[in-house]
Amino acid sequence: MRKALSCVPMGAFPPGWSLTPSLDFRRRSPSSEYGPRTNDSLDDVFCQAMDKDSQRLDAIDDELEVGFDQTFERKWRRLELASHAIMALFVLAALLGLFGRGPLSHRTHMSANGRLSLDYEPLVRWGTSTQVTVHLSTPDVRPAADEGAFQKIWVSVNNAVVEPLGLQQVIPQPDATKAIDGGTMYEFAVPPGQDDALVRFVLKPSAVGLVHADVGDDSGANSLSWSQLVLP
């Protein structure tokens, strides 16, 4: 709120003092600048100076009030809202498991006939262990001579599982391993009475980026692909 300035007679100030238009009190000769003055004329000059300075103060006040930069404030507000939205998205992604454990931390793929399924983490970190779990069912019909004997199944993976995903271990230990075109095939023995096998590939990514990998069986009829984004 702006305060009005009132005119005070010059007699209210000590003898030999006057008020310049800049509202500075300084000692000077009563006859300087304005020449010899009577008390009434000095009061008039003082009031004129006060009026001029009051106008100058009004201009300063107006400048302070008009100094609100609406364009800058609008841009700053938008920047604040955008930063809040980004932080909220990061929190939501963390809660859903995109950066750790949560509902979206694992994905599952299954072949058309349901014999082969795959579970993996879509987001992993460089140098941190992760697992890809393969579930493979044995054929529905076994030869009569094979009843009561171990069933052999083969699981193949492409070279991306070895590098850059950094294969560390295969659980359980395969009975045999052989190189194939573009990858490796592992042989496992399924005990009698068991119609499926669960194989875990323990990985430790050695590169950053998006990696595509494949897994399949020995028949070639069942295969699945997956992608993992390796973060720093």
pLDDT digit string (tens) for 24-44?
444 444 444 445 555 555 556
This model's pTM is above 0.85: no
Same domain, 132 and 53: no
Same domain, 62 and 75: no
Q: What is the pLDDT of residues 168-208, one digit of tens each?
A: 999 999 999 999 888 999 999 888 778 788 999 999 999 99
pLDDT at residue 222, rounded to an integer: 84
Confirm whether 4 is domain-assigned.
no
Same domain, 157 and 182: yes
Q: Which residues form the domain of 52?
A: 10-66
Look at the chain and report how many structural domains it folds into. Answer: 3
Same domain, 120 and 217: yes
Confirm whether 191 is domain-assigned.
yes
Using alpha carbons, select from 180, 58, 199 the residue that is nearest to residue 136: 199
pLDDT at residue 156, rounded to an integer: 92
Show the 3-state SS of 56-102.
Answer: HHHHHHHHHHHCCCHHHHHHHHHHHHHHHHHHHHHHHHHHHCCCCCC
Same domain, 118 and 222: yes
Same domain, 26 and 50: yes
Find the mean pLDDT for residues 132-145.
70
Same domain, 124 and 177: yes
Q: What is the pLDDT of residues 144-164, one digit of tens each?
A: 445 557 788 899 999 999 889
**CA-CA distance, 122 to 97, in Å (whole number)?**
10
Same domain, 59 and 167: no
Confirm whether 216 is domain-assigned.
yes
Q: Would the pLDDT of 220 be above 60?
A: yes
Find the mean pLDDT for residues 1-14.
50
Same domain, 147 and 181: yes
